[in-house]
Structure 1
Amino acid sequence: MKNASLMKAGLCLMLLALLMCLPLTSYAITEQEWNEGCGSKTGQTIQLYDIVYDENGGVISTPTHTVPGGLYIRSGKVDSDSGWLELRYYQNGSICSGWMKMYNNDDLVSCSVMLSIDDGTCTFVNEALLKNPERLHEVINASAPAGVTYTWIPGTTNVHAEGKAEIVWDSASYPSNTTAPSGGSSSSGTGGKNSTAPTPAPVVFQYEGAAVEVIRLGVSTSTILLNEEETDVPTAEVTFNTTAEEDRRIAVIHAPRTGKCTLRAKASESGKMVKSCMAGHVVPVLEYGKEWCRILYNGAEGYVLTSCLKWYSAETQGIGVLSYNGEATGSTTINIRNAPDGESFKVAEWYTGTQVQVFGLDDGWYEIECDEIHGFVMDEFLTVEE
């Protein structure tokens, strides 16, 4: 009897534990939430594999299953040497994975769509957001310049998907290069009226060989999502597909008079406006040119004048705390400027007590950075920690 009672008690505890775990498993992430967080989807049915390494470091692959086209995916680990990419996808309430060989232009495509706005601008968003107007509203307005109100939604009559940006990955373009053929055709050979120009490959950030999400990008230090935890790492150790030289990979939007510059769809003053880039923001440079640079700003790729970018040394001199008359209680705000000049554009307004990275002191101005904003503050408003 005693043993039977113990078994009953044990079964009850196991059942209770299972019931308690079910909501955590089921509601950890929904399929819609997963889709909204993806940057790409499968362009066609793809064969996935399990891979192991032999004693010489070679890859031994075993086919396991296929996934259909149109499946929203996120990239996991990357083996650039052998050309294998781990795909993660959502299926029946779980996150599944498998390895694919990177070789076919049509395997993976971008799931971005371009929204044309009634003010003449456009922006790119995840197509899954079109099924969630409330979330789409939040995402679009979050990327809007400070102090500007947008009324793209509600109503949705002045927001529509104009055309999908079919950006492809292949073994030649991922992850080191930045362009890949988009697969246009022509009856009279290459360059015909139906052929398409190369399109940029998706920007993929990597840390120690694995694809990661960058939460905050900084000149010296960046915050990435590593093993589902936010982790600070040296920006120099975060790689992405760029043709820019090492000292031109990370830049700061420089517009000390106007406070913003225009991100365009092509490297020309006549190029369609994608959005405004606010001064002080740290951005990755995907292509560097004497007149134009291609950058990634708030999830949108485009071109800005090279004169609207500034490059700074990643070497820091420690941590500082904003203060006013020696007090750092959070009761006063301090202006952060785009240049070491009291008349330059105010890129941020931070409370006293805010900790910042300090890069140097020149002529009474500290060069500082915090939360993806790089700027300058007068030395009387900063206390450098010993």
Structure 2
Amino acid sequence: MKRLLMLLTTFCLLLMTTALAETEAEWNAKCEWKTGTGTTLYAVTQGTATSSDLSDFVPVGTLPANTYVGILERSGNMRNVRYWNGSGTSSGWVDSAALVWVGSNSSKPKPSGSRATASDLSRKPDDTWNSLTVTYSDGDEAQTVSLQTLGVAMSEIYMDGEFLRVPTASLSWETEADDNQRIAVIYAPSTGKCTMREEASKKGKIIMTCKAGRVVTVLRVGDVYTRIVYDGVEGLVLNSCLKFYETPDEDAFTTGLLSAKGKTNTTATVSVYQLTKSRRRLDKIRVGAYLAVMDKVGEWYEVDVNGWHGFVKDANVTLDAPLPD
């Protein structure tokens, strides 16, 4: 009798373990990344990754194409991922170039934002902004998305396998800033750049140099310094180096394309400037680039384009619709 009870107990435990065990299909369903090609799997020589130099990593195997993974940690261009090993999950490091974003499996309808063009079909999602958790909502349930390009008025996201252009007002992230300060543009009319630091002090360690005209998310506004995320990197910059914006509603701006002599399919480039009266150029961008137009100042349009916020000549813009009054 005692032996029978032990056998029954063991059988029940086995049933419970089987019921609780995660299956490969369940694991795949919750992953937002997979390997686009077969890739080398690495282990870290010092226990933790310290740089993107492959000399810090030792090859320990391979991951086949279409292996679903979850990203645990980032170091340069390397990603520490968890993957299904046949009976459970294991972890290791892979090159980010081998990963493809597959989005969430939500059945939520896609937003009404502008779809990708034919040239987008061969693109791979950019993980520059993946350090910032961004959610999209069009009045329905919010969904986590991959931010591709940030703009004051219009941004580009990657969701459910599509590149989509949506109003920035429909995006949210964790911030302590007021609504009229959660977006900013690096403002440096004299030098064209500003310094990002680790601490709120002129003696704080320098993280990087931020270029004027880039659109950033604001996490917290201080008396002298503000914490921002610049192209996916978090740090502190002087308040005087920022121009704050409230994200406009969708009916407060229009959209269009950069053009040269009315043409949008040539190899010509268009200059984007920080100010209308300044000759400080932010960037030269090929015609055909999608943009959001917020205002008209004389012969200049104030625009978002490719992560920049600045001004272009009206002769170099082909509008989809008239600018709202």
Question: Fold match, TM over 0.5?
Answer: yes
- Residue in structure 2 matching 1:206, options 122, 125, 135: 135
Q: What secondary structure is seen at the aligned counterpart in 2 of 1:366?
A: strand
Query: In 2, are the aligned partners of 1:319 and 1:385 still within 8 Å (CA)?
Result: yes
Q: Does 1:237 align with 2:170?
A: yes
Q: Does 1:287 align with 2:220?
A: yes
Q: Which residue of 2 aligns with 1:111?
A: 73
- Structure 1 length-normalised TM: 0.49
Q: 1:381 to 1:226 in 2, by over 3 A?
A: closer
* Whole-angstrom CA distance in 2 between matches of 1:34 and 1:297: 29
Shift of 1:376: 0.6
Q: Which residue of 2 aligns with 1:304?
A: 237
- Residue in structure 2 matching 1:256, options 178, 189, 192: 189
State the AA in 1 paired with 2:234.
E
Unaligned runs of 5+ residues in structure 2 are 1-33, 44-62, 82-91, 98-130
How big is each residue's C-alpha offset from its partner over 1:177-226, in whole Å with a ceiling of 9 and x where there is no partner?
Answer: xxxxxxxxxxxxxxxxxxxxxxxxx6321224332211111112222221
State the AA in 2 paired with 1:337.
Y
How big is each residue's C-alpha offset from its partner over 1:232-255, in whole Å with a ceiling of 9 and x where there is no partner?
Answer: 222122111111111111111111
Q: Percent identity?
A: 32
Greater relative CO, 1 or 2 (CA 8 Å, sep 6+): 2
Q: Does 1:337 align with 2:273?
A: yes
Shift of 1:346: 0.9
How big is each residue's C-alpha offset from its partner over 1:236-287, in whole Å with a ceiling of 9 and x where there is no partner?
Answer: 2211111111111111111122111111111111111111111111111111
Query: In 1, are the aligned partners of 2:79 and 2:96 still within 8 Å (CA)?
Result: no
Deviates more, 1:279-288 or 1:322-331: 322-331
State the AA in 1 paired with 2:269.
T
* Whole-angstrom CA distance in 1 between matches of 2:293 and 2:65: 48
- The RMSD of aligned alpha carbons is 3.8
Query: In 1, are the aligned partners of 2:183 and 2:246 still within 8 Å (CA)?
Result: no
Q: Which residue of 1 aligns with 2:201?
A: 268
* Whole-angstrom CA distance in 2 between matches of 1:234 and 1:274: 30
How big is each residue's C-alpha offset from its partner over 1:24-48, in whole Å with a ceiling of 9 and x where there is no partner?
Answer: xx9645576999xxxxxxxxxxxxx
* Whole-angstrom CA distance in 2 between matches of 1:330 and 1:251: 32
State the AA in 2 paired with 1:234.
P
State the AA in 2 paired with 1:369.
D
- Number of residue-to-residue matches in the alignment: 220
Q: What secondary structure is seen at the aligned counterpart in 2 of 1:236?
A: helix
Q: What secondary structure is seen at the aligned counterpart in 1 of 2:180?
A: helix
Q: Which residue of 2 aligns with 1:369?
A: 304
- Residue in structure 2 matching 1:95, options 68, 71, 76: 68
- Structure 2 length-normalised TM: 0.57
* Whole-angstrom CA distance in 2 between matches of 1:255 and 1:340: 14
Shift of 1:366: 1.2
State the AA in 2 paired with 1:336.
V
Unaligned runs of 5+ residues in structure 1 are 1-25, 36-89, 98-108, 114-123, 136-201
* Whole-angstrom CA distance in 1 between matches of 2:65 and 2:286: 46
How big is each residue's C-alpha offset from its partner over 1:326-371, in whole Å with a ceiling of 9 and x where there is no partner?
Answer: 555535332211122233x211112344442111112332101112
State the AA in 2 paired with 1:264.
R
Q: Which residue of 2 aligns with 1:227?
A: 160
Query: In 1, are the aligned partners of 2:36 and 2:66 still within 8 Å (CA)?
Result: no
Q: 1:110 to 1:290 in 2, by over 3 A?
A: farther
* Whole-angstrom CA distance in 1 between matches of 2:164 and 2:227: 27
* Whole-angstrom CA distance in 2 between matches of 1:271 and 1:213: 31
